[in-house]
Chains A and B, each alone.
Chain A
Amino acid sequence: MVSQVLSTVLTVLAGVAAALVVYWVLNKLAEALPGPWENRIKPYFYVAPAVAAIGVYLVYPTIITVINSFKNSDGSRFVGVENFVKLLQTPAFRQTLLNTLLWIAIVPAACIVVGLFVATLADRLSFRAEKAAKTIIFMPMAISAVGSATVWRFMYAAQPAGQPQTGLLNGIVTAFGHDPVPWLQQSTLHSNSLLLMVMLLWGQAGFAMVLLSAAIKGVPAETLEAARLDGAGEMRIFWRVILPQIRGTVITVFVTVLITVMKVFDVIYVTTNGAFNTNVVGLEFFNQLYTNYNYGYASAIVVMLLIAIVPIMIYQIRHFRAEEPA
């Protein structure tokens, strides 16, 4: 333990020192240049290491992944679009896509609704009560997704009928004299996927609430007073006065959660590992790579995910720029 901490500290120190040396050397190089060239070149010297890092750690792997998606399972031969075609032809993968779509359609919206609901109501509480309520809602954010999924497994656990139930839900169900329900196996209308979504929602609602709450507090009190003087009801004030003024935050939260959801993996891996038709794209990628060693399929899945995420990211960046006061 001590040696691990020590080596971590040393690594960080060495890294920082190395970065300083690099910049110092670059700076010296620039200074050695004649006259006006020093100032012309210097900015590029300062940006170059960052650009190089992004190139090596982000751009290069992305390009390799795209290339691999057109190769066979061990990357030894080009197979054209075969990976994509085969994946999309598999009924199980189409169900995986459908599940992912469900996650996308439900979780970000639900997150906003829950976050707004809590933030709006908490805003009307006394200072202490507001703090307590927000702390409780925010707490799950401190737990890793794997940790929360492990805890939630106990929520849905099912023992055979007649046995003591360790699962909370089945504890309640059996207390009313019904047979225990194997919750995570209820795949009719993808209801087990909904149960899994609750887990992520539980973790993400706090994030949404904190940002939205801050935005609501930033709404100028005069606008609310003006609306009240004009005789608007509280609902109307919320929809017509508060919401338009926090629209930017709502969009930011929505997009952030959306991207989290598109990559969702851990909560499903821990609870069902995709069984009972709960598979999603992020998990399928993991299993293709680490269980099946099929680099072609794994890369093809990532490329599909990339194609889906890029427009959302572009939208987010545009939106972010528009929000930024000039």
Chain B
Amino acid sequence: MPTRKLVLAVSAFSALTLLATGCSSGSDSSASDKKTITIWSSMDQPIIDGLKAKVNPEAKAQGITVQWRKVDNINQIIVQKVQANDAPDIALLPQPGIIKDFATKGKVTPLDDVLDIPALQKSMTPGTLDVAKVNGKTYGLMVSMNVKGLVFYPKKAFEAAGYTAPKTLDELNALTEKIKADGKTPWCLGIEAATATGWPATDWFENLVLKYGGVDKYNEWISHKIKFDSPLVRQAAAQFEKIAFTDGNVLGGRKSIASNNFGTAGNPMFQSKPGCYMYQQGSFITGFFPKAVQKNLDSEVGVFGLPPVTAGGDNPVEGGGDTASIYQDSPAARKVMKLLAATDVGTTAAKNGSSFISPHKDFPLSNYPLKTTQSIAKVAYDSTGFAFDGSDAMPTAVGTGSFWKEMTAWISGQESLDAALKNIDASWPVS
């Protein structure tokens, strides 16, 4: 029976090769002649496709095959894989805190010898190169970013009424008063998100703490060196209170905030007689706008970043991003990392209409097909610093627990600000 022999032979051969590759991926001796690089990420498929279209041909020219894999809940899986010594060559994580943790344990390769750091300092949005820095060494390179603290407005009605984007927080308050004086409702605000109710309020807080305190104070706050019950956080709270609790500022008033879903809260902006004129959210929210608005995003929607305290002064921005690190060091992995660090690596991803935003401020805005995306990118590129989502970086007991809950309790009037801030401080786990 020749077929059976063939099957046997094939299976024996594949078993051997499996064994061989299984051995080689673990040993260092073969790292120097490695030809295939695996990259894991949890980015949207269109972004991966765009990066792949750009990176793979360039890698091929150097004799390297790059395999991209989309891994959902990569944050958990990468920890398991690193513990099992089975990590991919390169992975892009949305949580830089995990990379820092790996760095202190020596599980990721420092990029200082791999990349031209001083050149990148100039090319990238301020602060984005520091998100995975440990003891002065750079362990992560942000490849794709998103921006928070954006104020969206209904472009046509906003401009017809003669309103302009404010340059300072005081001007933002003045604009709020002006819209109200015109007999309209300035803000839409909703923090309802089912089991995660409250998180949009924490975004408001993070952005305001960042504007008032700057990146360094902000980082001290998210590591609890600055307490919630502190002048800085109270300053942020006072500004939020001014916007959210003043009569007539918010569509539906203060009592509607905690029951208004964040996804749809901004939609009254696009009614024929706008229900409100401003809605603060992250860059992702455009995907929640009504279909008709999404179709004509550029003509329907305008956007500006939450303004700084003083015009032209320190103006850091909050956001997120996917940060690449080398988990299995090899010459090939280093070469691919260099390709990922190029400003134009995102050209195709940006042009194919994905939600991709490049962290390189010298990335030509004209690469983004949408004016809205250009404005959002410009908010980041013009900023003076970058901070990661604070509640994501806090211990979960606070970041996805008390911070959400106490903000909800305060905003819905069940608790005083004083009690809310003190309760959050008390909930911080003692380590």
- A-side interface residues toward B, CB under 8 Å? 73, 92, 153, 157-163, 180, 182-185, 187, 269-277, 287, 291-294
Are the C-beta atoms of B256 and A182 separated by less than 8 Å? yes
Looking at the assembled complex, report how far the CB atom of A79 sits from the nearest CB atom of chain B, in whole angstroms.
Answer: 12
- B250-278: CB near A (< 8 Å → 1, else 0) gives 11110110111000000010000001000
Extra inter-chain contacts (4) besides given A157-B259, A159-B260, CB under 8 Å: A273-B194, A273-B196, A275-B409, A291-B397
Are the C-beta atoms of B197 and A291 separated by less than 8 Å? no
Tell me the complex Cα distance, A289–B231, Å.
32
Are the C-beta atoms of A163 and B252 separated by less than 8 Å? yes
Looking at the assembled complex, report how far the CB atom of B374 sits from the nearest CB atom of chain A, in whole angstroms.
Answer: 31
Looking at the assembled complex, report how far the CB atom of A24 sits from the nearest CB atom of chain B, in whole angstroms.
Answer: 34
Interface hub of B198, B250, B400, B401 (most chain A Cβ within 10 A): B401
* Contact A160 B256, CB 8 Å, known A276-B412, A293-B397: yes
Tell me the complex Cα distance, A1–B194, Å.
29
Contacts of A158 in B (CB 8 A): 256, 259-260
Tally B residues with Cβ within 8 Å of A. Answer: 30
Are the C-beta atoms of B253 and A161 separated by less than 8 Å? yes
Tell me the complex Cα distance, A159–B189, Å.
11
Give the interface SS of chain A, mostly helix, strand, loop or mixed.
loop
* Contact A182 B396, CB 8 Å, known A159-B252, A160-B251, A270-B195: no
Are the C-beta atoms of A291 and B414 separated by less than 8 Å? no
User: Which of A153, A157, A163, A184 has a CB less than 8 Å from the CB of B275?
Assistant: A163
- B155-190: CB near A (< 8 Å → 1, else 0) gives 000000000000000000000000000000000100
- B192-210: CB near A (< 8 Å → 1, else 0) gives 0011111000000000000
Are the C-beta atoms of A162 and B251 separated by less than 8 Å? yes
- B36-51: CB near A (< 8 Å → 1, else 0) gives 0000000000000000
Are the C-beta atoms of B275 and A293 separated by less than 8 Å? no
- B396-431: CB near A (< 8 Å → 1, else 0) gives 110011000100110010100000000100010110
Tell me the complex Cα distance, A250–B163, Å.
68
* Contact A272 B197, CB 8 Å, known A291-B400, A292-B401, A294-B397: yes
Looking at the assembled complex, report how far the CB atom of A161 sits from the nearest CB atom of chain B, in whole angstroms.
Answer: 5
Contacts of B401 in A (CB 8 A): 287, 291-292
Q: How many interface contacts (CB-CB < 8 Å) are there between A and B?
A: 84
Contacts of A277 in B (CB 8 A): 414
Looking at the assembled complex, report how far the CB atom of A269 sits from the nearest CB atom of chain B, in whole angstroms.
Answer: 6
Those of B194-244 within 8 Å (CB) of chain A: 194-198
Looking at the assembled complex, report how far the CB atom of A75 sits from the nearest CB atom of chain B, in whole angstroms.
Answer: 14
Q: List 24 A-B contacts (CB under 8 A).
A: A73-B429, A92-B423, A158-B256, A159-B256, A160-B188, A160-B275, A161-B253, A163-B252, A180-B252, A182-B256, A182-B259, A182-B412, A185-B414, A187-B414, A270-B194, A272-B197, A273-B196, A273-B197, A276-B409, A277-B414, A291-B397, A292-B401, A292-B429, A294-B429
Are the C-beta atoms of B268 and A185 separated by less than 8 Å? no
Tell me the complex Cα distance, A184–B408, Å.
12
The 3 closest A-B pairs by CB, nearest first: A160-B252, A292-B397, A182-B259
Contacts of B255 in A (CB 8 A): 182, 185
**A92: nearest chain-B partner, CB-CB:** B423
Contacts of A161 in B (CB 8 A): 252-253, 256
Looking at the assembled complex, report how far the CB atom of B306 sits from the nearest CB atom of chain A, in whole angstroms.
Answer: 22
**B407: nearest chain-A partner, CB-CB:** A275
Contacts of B423 in A (CB 8 A): 92
Are the C-beta atoms of B259 and A184 separated by less than 8 Å? yes
**A185: nearest chain-B partner, CB-CB:** B412
**B401: nearest chain-A partner, CB-CB:** A291
Contacts of A92 in B (CB 8 A): 423
Tell me the complex Cα distance, A272–B405, Å.
10
**B193: nearest chain-A partner, CB-CB:** A273
